Amino acid sequence: MNDQPLIILSGADGVATVSPTYDVTVTLRSVIDANNIFSDVVRLYGATGYESVVGIADLTINAVEIKEFRVFVTYLGNPILLLHFQNGLVLTNSTFLLHAETEAIMGMSIITEVIRAGPLNPITFRIAVSYERAFIDVYTQKAGVGANAVGDAFAPGELVTLTAHMTYGGQNLSGIYVEFQVNYPNGSVFLTQFAITDEFGLASISFRLPMKLVFGVYNSYVSASYLGYQATDVVPFTVGWIVRISSVTPIDALGNPRTSFARGSTAYFKIVVDNIALSSKEALITVNPFDKLSQPLGVAAVKGWIASGSSEYIISMPIPMWALLGAAVVRANSFTEWPSLGGVAYGPENSALFDIASG
């Protein structure tokens, strides 16, 4: 007997799995008598909140060696025959309904065609599980398809479209009222709205994020019911500057922090860039130092794909001989493209102070 029960796990659109495995292999050992009974082989435990339909699939058996093979279940005190194979034919292949948080004991009996000392070919089959329920999936126009999947990031001022897909037993449901709720990062309610599913089972709402908005992770919830089944889902998405210059630091050629650069020397700046999107974003990163009279000393830039997460860049440029001595500032920005080509800033700039010394 397997002391660890196989747990039936609910999935999307009526598809379930069994954990830790749902393949069963019966290895026939030395067959001395003609009738071997294997009882208490597998314990099945029903998923919380669902009624699961359990059956047998993908049977592999050597009909030359096996005369009769049965798979049976003892459930709620009653014996249930799931599979009956005899003389090369499957005579019975049935299912039973496993209620939530209940357990069933599966066993097998085998009658062989041959009697010999030695192993026979193993018998394999799969425990198949399905169920019917109302299912809803909410996602944004960027990402989040799938139950409890994560949506991509949005910037202030962007238009967000939430779409809910409502099904029952894998079939699209039309005319269903879907409630939408979006919460701030602190859990308070940002908006509520409802929509009705169309012939494809889809219901959508759209809203624009204010320019002045609390940054963080927003959770978008949907809820709907059908024939007494309640369906819910949530898609979180992050609001913030998509590509942000988190810091700019004057450094030397070896990466050590510097507080000053001499006129005529090469200045180095370490730029740390944060990309909160799920995927890489194309960006133009610029650095522009100014002397104490705000005279621009030149522009250096790197352009390319910024990986999701935090990245570091080293940008160098010469300090002109005509730059005024004293306090200076370097300003770093992230753009979608050069402004002359229609690019816009991803977010606010970052800056750092340094001194210009005589050469």
Is 190 part of any domain? Answer: yes
When pLDDT is averaged across residues 294-316 and rounded to a whole number, the result is: 96
Q: Give pLDDT, residue 102.
A: 83
**Domain CATH code at residue 167:** 2.60.40.10
- Which of 190, 223, 239 delimits the end of a domain? 239
**Domain CATH code at residue 54:** 2.60.120
When pLDDT is averaged across residues 99-123 and rounded to a whole number, the result is: 75
Is 67 part of any domain? Answer: yes
User: Residue 68's domain spans which residues?
Assistant: 6-130
Q: Of the ranges 130-144, 213-227, 335-349, which one carries the lowest mean pLDDT score?
A: 130-144
For residues 142 and 197, state if they share a domain: yes
Is 1 part of any domain? Answer: no
For residues 53 and 84, state if they share a domain: yes
Q: How far is CA 179 from the centre of its chain?
A: 23
For residues 247 and 325, state if they share a domain: yes
- Which of 239, 256, 271 delimits the end of a domain? 239
Question: What is the C-alpha radius of gyration for the chain, rounded to an integer number of angstroms?
Answer: 33
**Residues facing 127 on adjacent strands:** 56
When pLDDT is averaged across residues 263-285 and rounded to a whole number, the result is: 97
For residues 217 and 268, state if they share a domain: no
Nearest Cα to Cα of residue 130 among 18, 6, 42: 18
Is 298 part of any domain? Answer: yes
For residues 68 and 105, state if they share a domain: yes
Q: Please count the structural domains in the chain.
A: 3
Q: Give pLDDT, residue 117.
A: 56
- Which of 83, 113, 130 delimits the end of a domain? 130
As a whole number, the mean pLDDT across the chain is: 86
Q: Give pLDDT, residue 21.
A: 45
Is 322 part of any domain? Answer: yes
**Domain CATH code at residue 339:** 2.60.40.1930
For residues 118 and 14, state if they share a domain: yes
Residue in the structure block whose two tokens are 């041959």 = 114
For residues 110 and 138, state if they share a domain: no
Is 216 part of any domain? Answer: yes
Q: Give pLDDT, residue 116.
A: 57
Is 248 part of any domain? Answer: yes
Band the pLDDT of 238: cuts 50, 70, 90: very high
* φ, ψ of residue 13 in degrees (nearest 5): 50, 45
The two beta strands, 103-112 and 35-45, are antiparallel
For residues 219 and 268, state if they share a domain: no
When pLDDT is averaged across residues 300-321 and rounded to a whole number, the result is: 96
For residues 23 and 110, state if they share a domain: yes
For residues 167 and 280, state if they share a domain: no
For residues 123 and 16, state if they share a domain: yes
Residue 153 in contact with residue 146, Cβ under 8 Å?
Answer: no
When pLDDT is averaged across residues 347-351 and rounded to a whole number, the result is: 95
When pLDDT is averaged across residues 71-91 and rounded to a whole number, the result is: 90
Is 223 part of any domain? Answer: yes
- Answer with the residue of higher pLDDT: 255 or 69: 255
When pLDDT is averaged across residues 222-233 and rounded to a whole number, the result is: 87
pLDDT in tens, 149-191: 899 999 999 999 999 999 886 789 999 999 999 999 999 999 9
Cis peptide before 20 (omega within 30 of 0): yes
Cβ-Cβ contacts under 8 Å for 299 (sequence gap 6 or more): 286, 287, 288, 317
Band the pLDDT of 27: cuts 50, 70, 90: low
When pLDDT is averaged across residues 14-25 and rounded to a whole number, the result is: 48
Percentage above 90 pLDDT, the chain: 60
For residues 222 and 294, state if they share a domain: no
Nearest Cα to Cα of residue 44 among 13, 93, 2: 2
Nearest Cα to Cα of residue 357 among 296, 291, 293, 300: 291
